Structure 1
């Protein structure tokens, strides 16, 4: 049932003041004025009579009471006129806002049409027009951003000889990425896109620059994206919140740089991704919090670099990842906290290098991993405090190298591990403190193990 005494509901986008209906306001205003006039007349009469206390004088003239009443009503009329003018101003502003909304809608339609044009130059104009519209239209900024991201998700053929190849398309796509990057530089700017959702699901990248971007909220999706060539840069980017998702992405060529990036919060997911070529680079990155995960990822080729990265907190996880080729480097990295996790990983080939890394805290976990090939190398690493966990790990073939490693503190734990074949060497290692524990481990006759300076009691303990 309709309630006729309700104010009109607010209609988003129409910018119309939320006013009472005129047919209800006008009679009410007339009735109120009549009541006020009647009250003022009698009030003025009583006031003037109270001032005339001499009973010998004449009664208060009616004209004086009327004059006082008219004066007060004039003032009331002025107030009502001001209210009317204010109401008219609100209506005029509503008209102006509707005109602005109409203009913004027309700009959106034109920009969208330009993005679909056959000529690359016109599409470029559409890109800039849509970006400018996003800055001018905060209420629909996410919609404009979504349109630009949707353009990158459209089918894109990088083969110049393919029938569907569009000349100039790469420049259009790189321009979109540059515009997105420029809006992610400063979260305090009025036109920032920080915290907005960016959806690149299934997109194909053969280049792009996100360097210096700040991901402080929202969600950025590269789910199922393909990196087939060129360079995609997150150089110096800051991840202090939100989620950047590369789940199921394919890295078959090119380079993705996270060099010098800062991970002080948020999450970057590479779970179930495939690395068959190319390079993902975290050289010099800082991990004080947050999480980077490669869980169940497949490494059949390519390289992932954490060289000289700093881990004072957070997690880098390769849980249940498969290494059948390729290389993961932690050379020269510093571990003062946090966790690097290879729990349940399978190594049938490829290399994982921790050469000359420094462990003063935190944990590197390779427990329940399976080594049937490949190499894990800790050459020249320093353990002054931290935990290296190989518990219940199976070595049926591979190389585990601790040559010239220094153990002055912390724990290297191999309890419950099985060495049926392969090579493990501690030759040239220095054990001046800490603990290397092989208790309850099983060492088969085919295993080639150089115990180096390790105490025999730890080797032969059942």
Structure 2
């Protein structure tokens, strides 16, 4: 409150008090005399002064309230100002932190890009030691930056997909150019083997995927690549593409886990191949693949469809204790040696149409949950279906058995189609059980097997 206002209020109270006293002094004592007059005038003075003092007290209380209100408002304003300053300071710090983080992130990304570019350039060098240096630099970069691992794995796969020819034997000639070319091929082979080892090393999950060096969720695309002594034992990948790849030397995949699709279509395995205990969680395509050595799938699981159409086994094909959860097809497959399916389980449709098996075929203890199709299959040697069960139809139309055909004992729950089948040697059905009489139209049996089969099962 200003000084002028305060002065005016004081003057106003004084005037008002004087007016009250005057009124009470003269008007209130009119007609009184002696003691009553004196008493009345003192009473008027007391009342007027009380009114003046009361008004002054009220005004003093008002001034006190104003000062308190002003003090509180001032404190509130100061608190709001302080809070605003603190908020501004916090926002400034946060902005500076975000700016610093962004700058640091940008700087880190620039460093990663620079390292990646430099390492990729080294991998493209014409000198093997520099290529090796680039390879290991990329490995370190991926290990320290998980978000870069698939990119770097894809780069290594792209490098391995580049055309390459094995060096072969050293040249007998002393021509320096020939010797240098051979040495360059030898060095390139070592770089490629190192790249394969980098990938396999980081695809090993360890117990409960606990290894810090494990790169999870990696997809390998090595289509058309030339690979040497591949070792993916105990590894785990998201998906693999080896379509058209050439595997030089032994290829080991024991206990491999593939979470997504796997393609080996048209691949060539030049030596023995170990695919034991592999789990294919999705489709697996081996159509048109050639195994020049033995191929062992012992104990493996195919959770999705399995395609072996047109596959060629120059050596033994081992499918003991394999589980096929999805549809499996071996149509037009060629087995150059023995084909073994001991205790395998076919839980879905199974087709071997037009397959050719040059060696002994054994289906010991096998279960065909949906039956099996062996139409036009050629069994060049003995074919043994021992302790096997066909829960659905069994189709052997126009099948050719060059050796002993043994179905002893076998359980045929559905119809057995042997139309136009050819049995060059004896066919043993002793102990076999038929849910439906076998269909034998046009079948050719040697040594009276037809008569024995018809008599034993009332099909004549």
**TM score, norm. by length of structure 1:** 0.73
Return 143-152 or 192-201, whichever deviates more.
Answer: 192-201
Q: Aligned-pair distance for 1:337?
A: 4.9
Distance 1:437 1:359, change over 3 A: farther
- Kindly indicate whether the alpha-carbon contact (under 8 Å) linking 1:339 and 1:365 is maintained by their aligned counterparts in 2: no
Q: CA–CA distance in 2 between the matches of 1:314 and 1:353?
A: 22
Tell me the residue number matched to 1:351: 359
Asked whether the 8 Å contact 1:202–1:222 carries over to 2, the reply is yes
Alignment partner of 1:441: what SS?
A: coil
1: CA distance between counterparts of 2:384 and 2:322? 17
- Match status 1:441 vs 2:431: no
CA contact (8 A) 1:431 1:454 kept: no
- Aligned: 1:232 with 2:251: yes
1:287 to 301, 305, 315: 301
The answer (yes or no) to whether the contact 2:282–2:302 under 8 Å persists in 1 is no
Residue 139 (structure 2) pairs with residue 126 (structure 1): no
Q: Which moved more, 1:169-178 or 1:451-460?
A: 451-460
Mapped pair 1:257 → 2:257: no
Matches within 5 A, 1:235-246: 235-239=254-258, 241-246=259-264
Q: Distance in 2 between matches of 1:80 and 1:174?
A: 59
Counterparts of 2:226 and 2:418 in 1: how far apart (Å)? 45
| Distance change (3 Å), C-alpha of 1:449 and 1:84 | farther
Aligned partner of residue 89 in structure 1, secondary structure:
helix
Q: CA deviation at 1:220?
A: 1.0
The equivalences for 1:86-165 within 5 A come to: 86-161=94-169, 165=182
Rounded Cα–Cα distance in structure 2 between residues aligned with 1:370 and 1:385: 17
Contact map agreement 1:425 1:452 (CA 8 A) in 2: no
Q: Judging changes above 3 Å, is the alpha-carbon distance between structure 1 residues 457 and 286 closer, same or farther for their aligned structure 2 residues?
A: same
Counterpart in 1 of 2:219?
Answer: 197
1:278 match: 293
Structure 2 counterpart of 1:309, from 299, 310, 321: 321
Q: Is the 8 A contact 2:276 2:300 kept in 1?
A: no
Cα deviations by residue, 1:255-294 (Å, 9 ceiling, x for unpaired): 221123234x22221112244x2232212x2327333321
State yes or no: 1:220 paired with 2:240. Answer: yes
- The counterpart of 1:405, out of the listed 405, 408, 412, is 408
Residues 134 and 85 from structure 1, CA distance in 2 versus in 1: closer, same or farther, beyond 3 angstroms? same
- Do 1:338 and 1:363's aligned partners in 2 also have CA atoms closer than 8 Å? yes
1:54 is displaced (CA, Å) by: 5.9
| Contact 1:200 1:221 (8 Å CA) reproduced | yes
Q: How does 1:394-433 map to 2 (within 5 A)?
A: 394-395=398-399, 397-399=400-402, 401-403=404-406, 405-407=408-410, 409-411=411-413, 413-415=415-417, 417-419=419-421, 421-427=422-428, 429-431=429-431, 433=433
Aligned residue for 2:164, secondary structure, equals coil
Give the corresponding residue for 1:36: none
Higher helix share: 2
Aligned to 2:375: 368
- Matched residue SS, 2:323: strand
Distance 2:58 2:376 in 1: 112
- Per-residue CA distance 1:173-218 (angstroms, 9 max, x = gap): 2222222222222256676433222110101123110000123x3x
Partner residue of 2:35?
A: none
What is the CA-CA distance between 1:376 and the residue it aligns to? Answer: 5.7
Find the partner of 1:377 among 364, 383, 393. 383
The match for 1:209 among 225, 231, 254 is 231
The residue matched to 1:150 in structure 2 has which SS? Answer: helix
1 CA distance for matches of 2:321 and 2:394? Answer: 20
Residue 220 of structure 1 aligns to a residue in which SS?
strand
Q: Retained in 2: the 8 A contact 1:377–1:401? A: yes
Structure 1: state its 5+ residue gaps.
Answer: 1-52
**Bigger fraction of residues in strand:** 1
Shift of 1:422: 4.7
Note if contact 2:352-2:374 (Cα within 8 Å) is conserved in structure 1. yes
The answer on whether the counterparts of 2:279 and 2:303 sit within 8 Å (CA) in structure 1 is: no
